[in-house]
């Protein structure tokens, strides 16, 4: 299909990376994004008035107006809300799973049930409903620890988990989630280095992308609060040669087959977050969309045409797609965050520096334009990309760009990919 009109739903760094990849594909003739951001206007038509991305009717209204050949849904919220279902009901090709399949991220309990049926390794878990008594909560905490993993059952933007050895902190998170009427999942802690593997899934067909590793904690040395992700690198020099294939065979294919058997076949991007322990990979979580910020690094390494790739999934022809091709070397992305992130990020501070419009080096995750100036408009503000023949070179390139950017109160981790570069990660 030539001259494709494509609509991307979302407004963050992940969507900027998707637009960048789609714009470079000769199949793409017309790019649109809703609601997008001013930084995206150089490569796509931005539709800021269509900001209710979790409203199927509003997204359908825009799609009817544009008549896209393909819609790419970036965030998880619209997928869990059924936006993909509404668009497919109009005969529009959509990259992103239906509402039922999106429960793999939208409900931790559903994901656990699927994994149990598919015989996929994951953490032992117990669910605590909001009405649980203090006695029941205490008894459940007794069965876990000394390192407690407490998860919100629903969507939490990658931040709905507390991992702590402090029982009081674990209990406080249980109560905080219960107070908003949501269930809580207690899990056993999975040891070993973490791996993020994105897989294109079309029914039972599974095609992996490059493996990456995210850095969730806010500060260096994995200290500070949990965040949506402060940086990532790809590929993983410490992963066994058969590591990706093992994850595909032991995790992603069984889950894809189980979803088909349940009548909610998956179509889109399945993100497997895993810990690689002594017995191999075990699932920490699934996401129903491209992960952020791993996407920024992974897609920057893709040599195959992105529009053709996503369209193959959306049209049910992934099995016929040519094998994906990748650039040599490494990619690193480092997040520049606003002061106060993740608890209460400060907005409105100007961002200055060379290269803010250089898509090869800078992707905008949370920015706006006010009085002609680029300003912070979110917690994670920019994603800085670096590439190199070695991981060390890629890291150096990213940090060199970062040093030339100024944001009052802004901060970033200085150790993204450092442990892997130093050879301190092993299986």
The residues near 21 (Cβ < 8 Å, ≥ 6 apart) are 299, 302, 306
Numbered ranges of CATH 3.40.50.20 in the chain: 4-98
Residue with tokens 């994670």: 380
Question: What was the pLDDT predicted at 87?
Answer: 98
Per-residue confidence (pLDDT) for residue 379, from 0 to 100: 98
The pLDDT score that the predictor gives to residue 243 is 98
CA neighbours closer than 13 Å in the CB half-sphere of residue 185: 22
Given this model, what pLDDT does residue 156 score?
Answer: 56
Backbone angle region of 277, left / alpha / beta, with phi > 0 → left and psi within -120 to 50 → alpha: beta
How far apart, in whole angstroms, are the C-alpha atoms of residue 329 and residue 390? 6
Q: Mind giving me the DSSP string for 6-64? A: EEEEE-SHHHHHHHHHHHTSTTEEEEEEEE--GGGGGTSEE-TT---TT-HHHHHHHHH
Using one digit for the tens of pLDDT, what is the confidence trace for 154-199? 665 555 688 888 898 889 888 988 998 888 889 888 889 999 999 9
Instruction: Please state which CATH class domain 4-98 belongs to.
Output: alpha beta
| Model confidence pLDDT, tens digit, residues 364-416 | 999 999 999 999 999 999 999 999 999 999 999 999 999 999 999 999 999 99
Question: What pLDDT is recorded for position 68?
Answer: 98
List b or e across 353-381, with b for residues whose CB sees 16 or more CB atoms inside 10 angstroms: beebeebebbbbbbbbeeeeebbbbbbbb
Residue segments in the chain with a per-residue pLDDT below the cut of 50: none
């Amino acid at each position: 299909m030539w001259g494709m009109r494509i609509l991307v739903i979302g407004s963050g760094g992940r969507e900027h990376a998707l637009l960048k990849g789609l714009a470079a594909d000769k199949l793409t003739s017309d790019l649109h994004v809703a609601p997008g951001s001013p930084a995206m206007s150089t490569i796509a038509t931005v539709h800021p008035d269509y900001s209710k991305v979790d409203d199927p009717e509003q997204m359908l209204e825009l799609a009817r107006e544009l008549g896209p050949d393909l819609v790419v849904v970036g965030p998880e919220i619209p997928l869990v809300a059924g936006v993909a279902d509404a668009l497919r009901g109009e005969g529009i090709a959509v990259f992103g799973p239906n509402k039922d399949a999106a429960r793999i991220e939208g409900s931790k309990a559903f994901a656990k049930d699927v994994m149990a049926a598919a015989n996929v390794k994951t953490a032992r878990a117990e669910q605590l409903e909001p009405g649980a008594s203090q006695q029941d909560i205490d008894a459940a905490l007794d069965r876990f620890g000394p390192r407690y993993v407490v998860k919100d059952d629903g969507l939490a933007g990658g931040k709905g988990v507390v991992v702590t050895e402090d029982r009081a902190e674990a209990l406080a998170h249980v109560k905080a989630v219960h107070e908003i009427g949501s269930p809580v999942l207690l899990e056993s802690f999975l040891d070993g280095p973490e791996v993020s593997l994105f897989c294109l899934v079309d029914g039972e067909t599974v095609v992996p992308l490059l493996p990456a590793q995210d850095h969730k904690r806010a500060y260096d040395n994995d200290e500070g609060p949990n965040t949506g992700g402060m940086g990532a690198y790809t590929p993983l020099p410490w992963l066994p040669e058969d590591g990706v294939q093992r994850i595909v065979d032991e995790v992603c294919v069984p889950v894809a087959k189980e979803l088909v058997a349940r009548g909610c076949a998956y179509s889109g991007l399945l993100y497997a977050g895993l810990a690689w322990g002594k017995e191999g990979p075990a699932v920490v979580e699934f996401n129903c969309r491209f992960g952020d910020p791993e996407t920024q690094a992974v897609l920057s390494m893709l040599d195959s045409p992105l529009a053709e790739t996503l369209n193959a999934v959306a049209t049910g022809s992934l099995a016929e797609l040519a094998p994906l091709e990748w650039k040599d070397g490494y990619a690193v992305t480092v997040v520049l965050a606003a002061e106060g992130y993740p608890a209460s990020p400060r907005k409105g501070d100007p961002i200055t520096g060379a290269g803010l419009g250089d898509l090869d080096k800078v992707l905008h995750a949370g920015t706006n334009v006010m009085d002609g100036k680029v300003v912070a408009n979110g917690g994670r503000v920019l994603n800085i990309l670096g590439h190199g023949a070695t991981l060390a070179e890629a890291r150096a390139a990213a940090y060199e760009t970062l040093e030339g950017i100024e944001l009052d109160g802004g901060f970033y981790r200085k150790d993204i990919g450092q442990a892997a570069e130093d050879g301190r990660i092993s299986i």
